Structure 1
């Protein structure tokens, strides 16, 4: 988001509040918090980051097991310590997620600053599961100058918990880098790729089972799984049990640029997630010129609305790997003439490219004065 929106602004500073989670006794926790607060004003320094922006890194010590309201308080306290008790010196502050980002932003912004918040968390049900957290989230939305959800999968749970904010919660897109170079042409669908966490919610176990079935029909198929997570060992074992270990590559976690490079070297993104608020990797795959096989898990059916067939194949969320296998066969049998990747890519770029998303943010941030200094501050918190 910073890479997309920083160009065109006079100055952008990112305060990256990063949760340092560890097991600590109550006594040790107090010692760590006091030491961190004492060190932050002296240790915090500004570095260069994407888009010509500056970044200040703010560690936030948190004992393992704390819930969202306490995490938000600690982000607020750590940021205040890093700032030396002085408010963020910017007319516009944009926070990442309501808790903890929005909470910390509102408590550390200037009285005259406009504070905006974008929410995209997939775990909102957990964030809003206590009265205290719901009240805090209510305050964040009420006090913000604008509050945005990246899709209906985010806005729906918020309105269920806080229906009186129906008119306040608007939509805004996540940005995706579409680049400016030529896009390759995919001629077959043999090199599968998955990009994301190796966790239950992403449906990666079902993906591996479906891949083994499809590879039995076509031994030329390969699968690359990009990401890290708690299921890595089990997936590795299962690939061997299924006899496809030689065709499956686990890369582990990679930097974003490397993930995009890997996408451009494959033929098909398979994304069988159980729930997504947006699904950035789905749009990134199409930006790279690659079709997608993706579940109707929330975000993707919104981002691909009207171009489902052109972009690839949407399948239902089920517990049966055959749903993925059958979806692949349908897509394979009509590819490439039954798809239109160029059209899908063009329509997505109009909504989600860096220039499109930046234009919308700049319109919101600086709507009241063309002469005001453009100095938004981004507050990036725990995901």
Structure 2
């Protein structure tokens, strides 16, 4: 049996078919393992039945970490029933985990939505649980909302991934959070200045799921206004989503379709390669609790433009990019004009990024939260 292990609980585990599902959470599990923690990873995957995968409990090892994945694809159910299903999945999975590894010394769960399933188990077994929150609280109806507030308050500690999210959680249910930024796996993102092309063209790149909240429509409108300044420039939009066709239509309506390239779905390696060909990363989301892609860009020495939508305000300052108001294409166009003429120290951007967001540093900060509660994990 495993001794004194941390059970990491997520909404998914990355796979070949779903490479971004639970990616950041599994990165954190890897980082904790790398600093000497004993970790078991549990994915409670209750995504829509449209994202088909095998039902039930699946066990395997990934990067030396035991993984338990309980899949329960479901249909159009209310949040209340979704969490009943999630409770069932957790109870089935924890039984299998205990048989192999014994009871965990603590549970570190990602988002309160997943923590709903572990809180009663932890209360009955006197096991501390910690929540790292990645998403804004949303209205899921009175029953779920009250259960979430109770789950937050019963946690040994709640960690928010940005100062903006920490403040929202304090306003939402009166809890004081620790702030620890997301772990970012920077292995694919290296500073490579020699890859830049000296052809007088300024290249912007954006990468995200092309959904309303990511503000790709704002980006296209702002880029259209920026092009009127006469700067020779191109924009690459990486990602797929429900709004991609609408974004393409908007570019055609604005007459700038020849200045934008769309890559569709991408992986980290492809994103890194595109960053090495680009001069600036830009993503003007309508909300972000953190913003992994900004960090990945900066690890390559690329400055960034972001909207003041929450998380990016922790990441971007005058040394590495520009912040603009939300929902403001004109402000974005002005920032694009400005950033073209700023000579950033790309090597310093990359170096500072690695100092702030390397996995070992963030893992130690997470571990420090556990130590602060009087526990002795890893000793």
Q: Give the TM bin, normalised by the shorter chain.
A: 0.7 to 0.9
1:12 maps to 39
Q: Confirm whether residue 21 of structure 1 aligns to residue 51 of structure 2.
A: no
For 1:177, which of 182, 185, 188 is the aligned residue? 185
Deviation at 1:157?
Answer: 2.5
Instruction: Tell me, in whole angstroms, the C-alpha distance in 2 between the residues paired with 1:11 and 1:314.
Output: 40
- Give the equivalent residue in structure 2 for 1:310: 319
- CA shift in 2, pair 1:359/1:327, >3 Å: same
Measured after TM superposition, the shift of residue 328 of structure 1 is 0.6
The answer to whether the aligner puts 1:61 opposite 2:88 as a matched pair is: no
1:128-171 deviation line (CA, Å, top 9, x unaligned)? xx3322321222123222211112332223222212x23xx221
- The answer to whether the aligner puts 1:149 opposite 2:157 as a matched pair is no
Task: Tell whether the 8 Å contact from 2:301 to 2:348 is kept in structure 1 after alignment.
Answer: no
2:150 equivalent to 1:139: yes
1:349 to 349, 354, 371: 354
1:217 CA drift (Å): 4.1
> What displacement does 1:22 show?
4.4
- For 1:79, what is the secondary structure of its paired residue? helix
> In structure 2, do the counterparts of structure 1 residues 141 and 248 end up closer, same or farther at CA, with 3 Å as the change threshold?
same
Match of 2:303 among 291, 296, 299: 291
Residue in 2 that maps onto 1:26: none
Q: TM-score, normalised by structure 2?
A: 0.80
8 Å Cα contact 2:190-2:299 kept in structure 1: no
Question: What's the offset of the Cα at 1:285?
Answer: 0.9
Query: Given the alignment, which residue of 102, 114, 121 partners 2:115?
Result: 102
Alignment of 1:243-258 (within 5 A): 243-258=255-270
Q: Contact (CA 8 Å) 1:196, 1:202: kept in 2 or not?
A: yes
Unaligned runs of 5+ in 1: 24-35, 375-383
Checking the alignment, whether the CA contact within 8 Å between 1:272 and 1:294 is kept in structure 2 is yes
2:278 aligned with 1:237: no
What SS does the aligned partner of 2:237 have?
strand
8 A Cα contact 1:201 1:275, kept in partner: yes
Gaps of 5+ in 2: 1-27
TM-score of the superposed pair, with normalisation by structure 1: 0.79
The CA RMSD over aligned residues, in Å, is: 2.8
1:216 Cα deviation after fit: 4.5
Match of residue 24 from structure 2? none
What SS does structure 2 have at the residue aligned with 1:20?
A: coil
Contact 2:319 2:349 in 1 (8 A): yes
Aligned equivalents of 1:237 and 1:80: distance in 2?
47
- Mapping for residues 116-135 of structure 1, pairs under 5 Å: 116-122=130-136, 124-127=137-140, 130-135=141-146
Q: 1:189 Cα deviation (Å)?
A: 7.0
In structure 2, C-alpha distance between the alignment counterparts of 1:342 and 1:114, rounded to whole Å: 42
Q: Does 1:281 align with 2:293?
A: yes
Mapped to 2, the partners of 1:11 and 1:193 lie a distance apart of 39
Number of positions where the alignment pairs a residue of Structure 1 with one of Structure 2:
340
The DSSP-based 3-state class of the residue aligned with 1:21 is coil
State the secondary structure of the residue aligned to 2:74.
strand
Alpha-carbon distance, 1:351 to partner: 2.9
2:11 paired residue number: none
> Residue 2 of structure 1 is aligned with which of 25, 29, 32?
29
- CA–CA distance in structure 1, aligned partners of residues 138 and 58 of structure 2: 35
2:368 to 358, 363, 378: 363
Return the offset for 1:332.
1.1
Q: Distance in 1 between matches of 2:83 and 2:73?
A: 12
**Please, which moves more after superposition, 321-330 or 146-155?**
146-155
Counterparts in 2 of 1:180 and 1:191: CA distance versus 1, 3 Å: closer
Conservation of the 8 A alpha-carbon contact between 1:189 and 1:332: no
**Cα deviation per residue 1:296-317 (whole Å; 9 max; x = unaligned)?**
111111223xxx2211221111
Give 3-state SS (helix, strand or coil) of 1:289's partner: coil
Q: Deviations over 1:33-90 (max 9, x none)?
A: xxx9xx73xxx2322324x3232221123331412x4323321211212344775732
